[in-house]
Structure 1
Amino acid sequence: MNSSIGGGSVYTGPPPAVTAKKLSKTYGYVKACDEVDIELFRGEIHGILGENGAGKSTLMKMLIGLVLPDGGSIAINGEPVVIRDPLDAAGLGIGMVHQHFSLVEALTVWENVALGDNSKLDRSEIRVRVAELSEQYGLDVNPDDRVEDLPVGMRQRVELLKCLRKDPSVLILDEPTSVLTPEESEQWFASLRRVVEEENRAVALVSHRLSEVLQATDRITIMRNGAVIERCWTKDTDAHSLARGMVGRDVDVGFKEVKQSRKDSSKVSSGPSEENVEGSEKKFVLELSNVVTSSSSGVRELDGFSLGVKAGEIFGLAGVEGNGQSALVEVLSGLRTVLSGSVFLQAKEVSHNNFGRLAENGVAVIPEDRHDSGVVLGMSVAENLLFSNLEEGYKHGLLNKSRRDKRARELIEKFEINCTGPEALLWSLSGGNQQRVVLARETSDKPIVLIASQPTRGLDVGAIEYMTGQLQDLAKSGVGVLLISSELDEIFSLADRIGVIFRGKLAASMNREDANRESLGLLMGRGEV
């Protein structure tokens, strides 16, 4: 194939579906892409790996027409082209599923899928097509559901449907399985592989999951600091080599290694040792009993949900997104009204009128979507760091800038946030550093309970290593951690006890050593083994 990774052989077949040569893009003094070359071949899935800020997104945005390159060239099927905007890209057969959504919440699924069509809309035809695509790819989306009533997981599936309906010959996927169960992910990639080979499409898969890239791709390109560091055939590499190429050093590449390290350090099979939790005696610090909530349309989201989290443990709550996780986080954030049931904090019942004060009483939350409810991108690092503790920067209602910035610098140093200083705007930080801002704000005063919802979503391997280490350290210090995740690897490695949420109920709860992938997968998919 390509001479750079094919052991010296020369490719003599049809031209690549996409050929990019010396693509460059500079923002100020930062080279987001520095003369990047890449080829996407029909019938192949090409993995694009790199840390946040490596240039992956900028490269893909140039291919899709969202960003104009400063230099370089693009050819489609060997013919030079200029891609000025996404309409040009769509006309050339290039489609992209973005990690961050571009949906109109007030519209239904089928209406969002139809947005952008220039032809006359046939409602029944579009609804049927959406249902067919949903079934074909195992996405389980109702065309008539209103997007504002859908959780994050379902919204990403709608983004997938929007792209697939246009039948692109080149498909760029940004974290396509982050909301699917392991079984659904396998089905998705089996369907994708069939479509790629039988329909001769070219696919670029941007993913932070090394196991996923190794399983699904044919070849891999690794980027770092805006440049291509390495190209390889998937069959000739492994997770450790890929991780080293991504970050330039040896790192823990899988949650399996993290789990073993934790066992060795705690010397117990389920949870940190008692001496690490001074005076707690493993008491419940958070309990929910028969909690019921409903959506604005009256649909039950939590339906008699019960759960307990102990001091000094990580309770891992697994489940396919859309089964009540978002409602649970909103209840514990004080943002959702509880119709019935009880919440206890350190054995004291929290009245329904005081849910809004949970944060004041020691409940910290890392939300599932940091851009939606975790940070304000247009505000500074300092402002974002002190949202939950305004007295740090204000005195008698007036801003004390020096005091605020002093505290912000302390947190920036402690949590190793890579930014130019307290005044840096949040949007200028990588995803991993934005998540560190959220973590610093929520945990700097040591909460009683931390609710961590999808805390490693969209993070690269280095940022994941940092985040998982922080969660473990918090548990060892006595904080009760409720880890809500659709990543089974993450659940297995970090959790002391594991539960599964299904249709708003706790379907099962068990110690980590009693759990296995098969049973958890069945519980996540149908609520029973």
Structure 2
Amino acid sequence: MAPEPAVRLRGITKRYGAVVACDGVDLTLERGEIHGLLGENGAGKSTLMRILLGLETQDSGAIDRDGRAVTIAGPREAAALGISMVHQHFSLVDPLTVWENVALGRSGPVRRAAERAGVRAAAQRYGLAIDPDARVGTLSAGERQRVELLKCLRRDPTVLIMDEPTSVLTRSESAELFTVLRRVVAAEHRAVVLISHKLAEITTATDRVTVMRAGRVVLRRATTATTEAELAREMVGREVTLGAAVGVLPHATAPASPAASAQTALRLRGLTARPGLDDLCLTVHAGEIVGLYGAEGNGQKSLGDVLSGLTVPDAGTVEVAGASVDLRRPGALSAAGLGIVPEDRHHAGVVLDLSVAENLVMTRLGDVSGRVFIDRRRLRRRARALADEYGITAASLDSPLRDLSGGNQQRVVLARELSGRPRVLVAAQPSRGLDVGAVEDLYARLRRCASDGIAVLLISTELEEILALTTRIATIFRGRIVGELPTAQADGERLALLTGGVA
């Protein structure tokens, strides 16, 4: 007889008021397989996995573990059943070291030397280089993702759920991770769920794939029997034209970005911030999309923090439309006409516990205020107009922002920043964690910004994204620009040399 599946979900249904997040979902996870789970933001994937982890309780349906019906009342029960998850958004404690974060939640005595050695061994085994003694608060997004992975893998789960595990990894890091993961899955007979919006990643790394749309399963198939284009179509329910986004089509099919004007909209001179930036200089013209490309951890986060107003650099200047900005003054960059879509929207882009409406207007309160207090009617009218214009889907504009899908949260940030009619838009890793439909909409809006004369600085580690959207590429290495070239002249060899620090 064939062995029982590691996990079988049968007829899982979950409602939130009138919203049906999961509608009779069946999902089978086999040992020794990587199972891809796809769907738009809000399709029900996360709710389904939260039920499997005991973070939510289904309204109806059943869960079998090795052929035996189980009740998962909470995360402890899930852990006891060998079910663990690497979450997309980090759950680390910044003041603690890497090894201390990995050890958190473990029972029994904690021995520093043994924990540090264990982290080093696991990092080497899974190809996730990290210093066990580094403070998490000093790490880049890519390095934090490695810590999250190590934290989960050290628990040795039988069923491993990976939610966008490569969203902040470089292409080579991602390839190495999946090579190791494939070997571990086969040798240790684990069952893995891979949630990813990178379609090329799904078709390359998984054995089977399930696609959800509007809470239901719309496709269930062996990965070798489908294509990236079909998966995109099933996810969104229509044909998708994405150019280079998430590997669906060759980047040559992407619409050309508009030509830049001669007017300098953003000039960065000698920006230095320790650690992170080292005499960085860059110019972006009005109507131009410039890509800042490089391996994760080479100063992109520090630059984003400076342009968000979160960090005052040790040296250097930022000029917007020819005027130098006083970076010591809160709100000065926004007042000068710089809008930003930050790398980590939860950390620097939104306030999750505030309402959708409040997040949409928080940087322009003067537009919705009376003489003394905020005018709630004006606030709601303004928020409704932006929600309609940018296609933001929410049960209510008074709902906490945390209730929205990742794609809708990103639309909130973009709507708020563009509503201020900026001269410059900085978009840092803007498509991270977004589904194919949301990426398509994002790309169209960034191109429209450039057509309207806005200077766009695109900070991204996604090469396909850079090639699809930009007219010029600047490469960053150890906090400084080591080379620039027109996108039309970019090729893999030249970019590899530049991102490796060879000017």
TM-score bracket for the superposition, by shorter chain length: over 0.9
SS of the residue 1:335 aligns to: coil
Deviation of 1:421 (Å): 4.7
Deviation of 1:507 (Å): 2.6
Q: 1:65 to 1:254 in 2, by over 3 A?
A: farther
1:303 aligns with 2:283: no
1:197 aligns with 2:186: yes
User: For 2:488, which of 513, 525, 528 is the aligned residue?
Assistant: 513
User: For 2:293, which of 318, 332, 338 is the aligned residue?
Assistant: 318
AA paired with 1:370?
R
User: For 2:270, which of 270, 290, 293 is the aligned residue?
Assistant: 290
User: For 2:467, which of 485, 492, 506 is the aligned residue?
Assistant: 492
Deviation of 1:65 (Å): 1.7
1-side partners of 2:85 and 2:349: how far apart? 26
Query: Given that residues 318 and 325 in structure 2 are in contact (C-alpha distance below 8 angstroms), is that contact kept between their aligned partners in structure 1?
Result: yes
User: For 1:447, which of 416, 422, 438 is the aligned residue?
Assistant: 422
AA paired with 2:61?
G
1:350 aligns with 2:325: yes
Q: Which residue of 2 aligns with 1:438?
A: 413
Q: Which residue of 1 aligns with 2:374?
A: 399
Deviation of 1:25 (Å): 1.6
What aligned pairs does 1:229-240 form with structure 2 within 5 A after superposition? 229-240=218-229
Query: Given that residues 13 and 24 in structure 2 are in contact (C-alpha distance below 8 angstroms), is that contact kept between their aligned partners in structure 1?
Result: yes
Q: Which residue of 2 aligns with 1:23?
A: 12
1:371 aligns with 2:346: yes
1:459 aligns with 2:434: yes
Query: Given that residues 259 and 288 in structure 2 are in contact (C-alpha distance below 8 angstroms), is that contact kept between their aligned partners in structure 1?
Result: no
Deviation of 1:224 (Å): 1.0
Q: 1:479 to 1:254 in 2, by over 3 A?
A: same
Query: Given that residues 243 and 253 in structure 1 are in contact (C-alpha distance below 8 angstroms), is that contact kept between their aligned partners in structure 2?
Result: no
Deviation digits for residues 280-301 of structure 1 (CA, Å, limit 9, x no counterpart): x33221111221112xxxxx21
Q: Which residue of 2 aligns with 1:278?
A: none
Q: Which residue of 1 aligns with 2:458?
A: 483
Query: Given that residues 290 and 472 in structure 2 are in contact (C-alpha distance below 8 angstroms), is that contact kept between their aligned partners in structure 1?
Result: yes
Higher deviation after alignment, 68-77 or 49-58: 68-77
Deviation digits for residues 41-95 of structure 1 (CA, Å, limit 9, x no counterpart): 1111100000111111111111122222222222222222222222222222211
Deviation of 1:401 (Å): 1.9
What aligned pairs does 1:174-193 form with structure 2 within 5 A after superposition? 174-193=163-182
- In the comparison of the two structures, how many residue pairs are matched? 500
Query: Given that residues 293 and 340 in structure 1 are in contact (C-alpha distance below 8 angstroms), is that contact kept between their aligned partners in structure 2?
Result: yes
Q: Which residue of 2 aligns with 1:77?
A: 66
SS of the residue 2:21 aligns to: strand
**RMSD (Å), alpha carbons:** 1.8
1:527 aligns with 2:465: no
Query: Given that residues 123 and 150 in structure 2 are in contact (C-alpha distance below 8 angstroms), is that contact kept between their aligned partners in structure 1?
Result: yes
User: For 2:118, which of 126, 129, 134 is the aligned residue?
Assistant: 129
1-side partners of 2:327 and 2:386: how far apart? 33
What aligned pairs does 1:73-222 form with structure 2 within 5 A after superposition? 73-222=62-211
Q: Which residue of 1 aligns with 2:240?
A: 251
2-side partners of 1:287 and 1:140: how far apart? 35
2-side partners of 1:399 and 1:451: how far apart? 28
2-side partners of 1:195 and 1:312: how far apart? 48
1-side partners of 2:127 and 2:66: how far apart? 31
Query: Given that residues 35 and 206 in structure 2 are in contact (C-alpha distance below 8 angstroms), is that contact kept between their aligned partners in structure 1?
Result: yes
SS of the residue 2:276 aligns to: strand
Query: Given that residues 44 and 217 in structure 1 are in contact (C-alpha distance below 8 angstroms), is that contact kept between their aligned partners in structure 2?
Result: yes
Query: Given that residues 243 and 253 in structure 2 are in contact (C-alpha distance below 8 angstroms), is that contact kept between their aligned partners in structure 1?
Result: no
Deviation digits for residues 371-404 of structure 1 (CA, Å, limit 9, x no counterpart): 2221122222221111111111102222222222
2-side partners of 1:320 and 1:22: how far apart? 43
SS of the residue 1:358 aligns to: helix
Q: Percent identity between the aligned chains? A: 50
Deviation of 1:20 (Å): 1.4
Deviation digits for residues 300-343 of structure 1 (CA, Å, limit 9, x no counterpart): 21111111111111111122322211211111122211111222
Query: Given that residues 335 and 356 in structure 1 are in contact (C-alpha distance below 8 angstroms), is that contact kept between their aligned partners in structure 2?
Result: no
Query: Given that residues 313 and 479 in structure 1 are in contact (C-alpha distance below 8 angstroms), is that contact kept between their aligned partners in structure 2?
Result: yes
Query: Given that residues 17 and 202 in structure 1 are in contact (C-alpha distance below 8 angstroms), is that contact kept between their aligned partners in structure 2?
Result: yes
Deviation digits for residues 214-239 of structure 1 (CA, Å, limit 9, x no counterpart): 11001100111111111011111111
Deviation digits for residues 418-462 of structure 1 (CA, Å, limit 9, x no counterpart): 224543332232221111111111012321100101111111111
SS of the residue 1:440 aligns to: helix
1-side partners of 2:355 and 2:212: how far apart? 28
2-side partners of 1:42 and 1:204: how far apart? 11
Q: 1:197 to 1:522 in 2, by over 3 A?
A: farther
Unmatched tracts of structure 2, length 5 or more? none
Deviation of 1:527 (Å): 2.5
User: For 2:315, which of 331, 340, 347 is the aligned residue?
Assistant: 340
Query: Given that residues 178 and 486 in structure 1 are in contact (C-alpha distance below 8 angstroms), is that contact kept between their aligned partners in structure 2?
Result: no
Deviation of 1:146 (Å): 1.0
1-side partners of 2:292 and 2:160: how far apart? 33
2-side partners of 1:303 and 1:351: how far apart? 20
Query: Given that residues 183 and 521 in structure 1 are in contact (C-alpha distance below 8 angstroms), is that contact kept between their aligned partners in structure 2?
Result: no
What aligned pairs does 1:259-298 form with structure 2 within 5 A after superposition? 259-260=251-252, 262-263=254-255, 266=256, 271-273=257-259, 281-294=261-274
Deviation digits for residues 105-136 of structure 1 (CA, Å, limit 9, x no counterpart): 12111001001111211111111111122222
Deviation of 1:151 (Å): 2.5
